[in-house]
Amino acid sequence: MRTRKMILATVFLLVLSACVTLPPPPGPEDSQSAAIGISLVIRPHLRLFGLADQKTDMTVYFIRLNEEKGAPDSFLQTTLYRSNYTHGNQVYLLNATPGRYAAVVVFFERTKQSPPPVPGTPRVVPDPPWELWTYLSEDVIRQTEVTVPPGAIRYMGDFVIDNAVGMKNADEAQEYYHRFVIYSHDKMIGDFQKGMEKGQRQQVAMVGTTLTVGTILYYFIADQASLDTLNLMARGILFDEVSYPGSAKSVDRSPQAEAAFLKKAGEQFQTTGWMQSIHKRLDELNAP
């Protein structure tokens, strides 16, 4: 009887988990609200060692470009716009101000694989997941550029991005946005707190003390945004953070790719006010 109850409870939990769905995306704030979408796959540099491609749970940071006629294109902006909805590998910036946009940075977290606990030993509080940052090269940023009119939805393309080892060959855009992100206020506060908490969680007192002191010294001495290999290694040890330069393995901005993206978006956005914009764009793509 006890075994039967356990089986029934397990089945019940599986049914509940199968019913869990993503929260609906935010609908348009007004008739001028625009939407931007991009398809992304991030490929790690150690693919031969079993690391899987990243296809879900990504956050993309966008920039808004100058629209004045004759103004030089500057892909080094001082304001970033964070994506506000993700479904699989489709990432969106919803309720954007109409204009020209490009993607510059991709962020996701990867949970660390901990060994199973040994019976009779104290439970160890797991460390937070790795923060993985991919900084897109300028040529990729240019390829993501898109102009979205008021009340419309536009597609940046389907991108497969390869991460390289280290940042020593980063171009100007990658170096600029790495520095921009690292020196952002919320990131600095979060890193400092993470470094202190990580030191306090260590089982060996000396290691914990070293990490805690190391975090304090790092913030008073180091150039946090340096692309030097030793600095990047220190950020990995202290803050569980890894930065990569990203280049395009493949790019598809064809009407067929956009139509496929929009059809998936239509399935995801059925309960929102974006359907009119989606249908309108599909009609434009199908027009002779």
Residue 198 vs residue 68, higher pLDDT: 198
Distance between CA 206 and CA 169 in Å, rounded? Answer: 36
In this structure, are 91 and 218 located in the same domain? no
> Could you tell me the sign of the dihedral formed by the alpha carbons of 223, 228, 230, 234, in that order?
positive
Q: What is the mean pLDDT of residues 170-174?
A: 95
The pTM of the full predicted model, rounded to 2 decimals, is 0.84
Residue 38 vs residue 190, higher pLDDT: 38
In this structure, are 107 and 203 located in the same domain? no
Q: Determine, yes or no, domain membership for 9.
A: no
Q: Determine, yes or no, domain membership for 251.
A: yes
Q: Determine, yes or no, domain membership for 153.
A: yes
Note the pLDDT tens digit of each residue in 93-105. 999 999 999 999 9
In this structure, are 155 and 46 located in the same domain? yes
Confidence band for 48, pLDDT divided at 50, 70 and 90 = very low
Residue 15 vs residue 228, higher pLDDT: 228
In this structure, are 218 and 76 located in the same domain? no
In this structure, are 201 and 136 located in the same domain? no
In this structure, are 103 and 194 located in the same domain? no
Q: What is the mean pLDDT of residues 71-76?
A: 74
Parent domain of 192? 185-223
Tokens at 78, concatenated: 């001082």
Number of domains, the chain: 2
In this structure, are 178 and 258 located in the same domain? yes
In this structure, are 89 and 204 located in the same domain? no
In this structure, are 132 and 218 located in the same domain? no
In this structure, are 134 and 176 located in the same domain? yes
Q: Determine, yes or no, domain membership for 284.
A: no
Does 67 have pLDDT greater than 80? Answer: no
Percent of the chain's residues with pLDDT above 90: 57
In this structure, are 248 and 145 located in the same domain? yes
Provide DSSP, 41-90. EEE-TTGGGTPPPB-SS-EEEEEEE--STTPPP----S--EE--EEETTE
Does 89 have pLDDT greater than 50? Answer: yes
